[in-house]
A and B are shown apart, each in its own frame.
Chain A
Amino acid sequence: MLRKLQVHLRDTFSVPARIMKTMSVPEGSYERSRNQYNSTRILREILKETPPDAIKILGIVDRDLCIPILTFVFGEAQLGGVASIVALARLRQEFYGLSPDDGILFERLCKEALHELGHNFGLIHCNDRECIMYLSNTVRDVDRKGTTYCGSCDSVLYLKTDPWRVQPWNRR
């Protein structure tokens, strides 16, 4: 699944993407009282692992994440920064008592990955319900979103990725 994500991200941003060695979930990030992991702590650890040639780093964690003030988060990103993180736990159908579905999981993962990376590139939440940058607080919101950025977000993103953009891979 990570490989598929790599291709998807590369194609979306026209910037090469690389899968890194697996990182173990930082010990100190588990919050027993909430049975969740502190997203901000993990994010900080991820940031430390940023390779020198990377402009952004995205962590995928198969746990349920939270931040102190919210009951849960799907992910977190440094607005205009380098690191971001997406949590799989609540994107899985199992979480809601349904049977596992890799297809749905992957789609949700893509959307949230693009959402958090969007934040890294400086995008804020969008009012367009179909745009990737729409704030999804529930998995229903995630599903309702489209798989692409809306026109205005996309044009901002295009500008922001300009310094690193490479030619499209598939030349037919």
Chain B
Amino acid sequence: MEPKVNILIVDDEEIVRESLASWLGEDGYEVAAAENGARALERLPERDWNLAMVDLKMPGMDGIQLMDEIRKTRPETIVIIMTAYATVDTAVQAMKKGAYDYIVKPFNPEDLSMTIRKIIEHQKLVKENLYLRKELKKQYRLHDMVSKNHKMIEIFDLVKTVAKSNSIVLVQGESGTGKELLSRAIHMESPRKDEPFVSVSCAALTENLLESELFGYEKGAFTGADQARSGKMELAKDGTLFLDEIGDISLKLQMDLLRVIEQREFRRVGGTQLIPITSRIIAATNRDLKKAIEEGKFREDLYYRLNVISIHIPPLRERKEDIPLLVEHFLDRFNIEMGKNVDGVAESAMRLLMEHDWPGNARELRNVIERAMVVTKGRMILDADLSLPRPSGVPGAPDSRGKSLAEMEKEHIRQVLQENRWNIIRSAHILGIDRVTLYNKIRKYELKKEPVLNT
């Protein structure tokens, strides 16, 4: 059922209101009328008006004033100004102020119905566009992360909620799934977004180095400490402190960290002054912490301290629908970074990407795409550009077992055509045959140009 189209007629002349209403009624539009601006505004909240036909010259509020008022509360309502007097000035003024059109009474019936039809069509398109965009957004973007997977989208929603609080967040997920990106997103969605986001990679440093990195040190605290230095905790100030790979820190540091988090203050290495923590802490790990606790490698009390808000990012292989999205995302990025113009990925190449397991998750995918973009000769990424390990174990070699001569020929021709973007002349040349033969072969094998997944 088509939604009803609601039209509001505003004119001080009864005959205009009535005849316009009955004329429009014959078209199936739902029409209501008001004799002046004030009445019109009263009727405005009644329904979703698609269109308001407003007389220019009315006692009290004139057409343009009314139009301004309408646009304040119902910006989606399209306004047409009607008048018996055509002057260029008022026409221009009306249009400038946002009237969709300006018609002179009496109207030519064809013009009028055409105009209204155009408006309805336009509104339908706008609505559809908005809807589609919303749908696309379900291919959700949260700062630098994109996904259409429902679990990820739930996580994105969670991020927005979580961002508002100050509680510690523990982000868990395999390596390369975007834990840092997510943590940055939390920061950017929070009131702290203009404050620093300080990142500490706990796995990269030894216990001592990590200690001084985190808490800072006073002059002379140890050999080499020539001057005092602020630790990351201090630098984070009122912003966010991101502790990456927290599962990798030593038990001693775990204990220090636990105390610091509980008391919300710390001392620099070799220092005496207590420094308060005003930053928000987000911790991340790719380790299974529960298992680490069982193995005695992670403190249970620290775990519970950190696990106030827990976010698990699913690995890429559990959300393969995100692969095309991520590919597009990376293509856009790298096109800009490298100053290139790669349009997309060939269908067969995309198939390969979808089949791969991605132990390194999104980071691995990113690297693969980056390499492909450096290597590709044309404007699209082909199978050969991807450095993925082949199922047959031989990188780059097409699977040629058990295929007939005809199949081999078909595959070869298809590959060459693909690589040359179906340029018949060039392909024929490479294959060492003439154009006519190539056309015949294309028809024989029923080859079709494959769509390229475009950005």
Contact = CB atoms under 8 A, between A and B. Distances in A.
B107 A69 contact: yes
A68 B28 contact: no
Interface string A3-18: 0000000000000000
B23 A70 contact: yes
Interface stretch (B14-22, B172-180, B238-246, B366-374): B14-22
A147 B105 CA distance: 32
Interface string A95-133: 000000000000000000000000100001100000000
Nearest to B17: A69
Interface residues on A, range: 10 to 19
A135 interface: yes
A66 B19 CA distance: 11
Interface in B95-113: 105-110, 112-113
**B interface: dominant SS:** helix
B26 A119 contact: yes
B276 interface: no
Contacts of B108: 70-71, 137
B27 A70 contact: no
Nearest to A73: B109
Contacts of A40: 19
Given A67-B19, A68-B15, A124 B109 contact: no
A138 interface: yes
Contacts of A72: 109
A128 B112 CA distance: 19
B106 A70 contact: yes
Contacts of B109: 70-73, 137
A69 B25 contact: no
Nearest to B20: A69
A124 B106 CA distance: 23
A157 interface: no
Interface in A120-172: 124-125, 135, 137-138
Contact of A124 (B25, B107, B112): B25
28 contacts: A66-B106, A67-B23, A67-B106, A68-B16, A68-B105, A68-B106, A69-B16, A69-B19, A69-B20, A69-B23, A69-B105, A70-B106, A70-B112, A71-B106, A71-B107, A71-B109, A72-B109, A79-B22, A79-B25, A79-B26, A119-B26, A124-B26, A125-B26, A135-B26, A135-B27, A137-B108, A137-B109, A137-B113
Which 4 A-B pairs give the minimum distances between C-beta atoms? A137-B110, A124-B28, A137-B109, A67-B19
Interface of B: 13, 15-16, 19-20, 22-23, 25-28, 105-110, 112-113
Given A69-B105, A78-B22, 12 more contacts: A66-B106, A67-B23, A68-B16, A68-B19, A69-B20, A70-B23, A70-B106, A71-B106, A72-B109, A124-B27, A125-B27, A135-B113
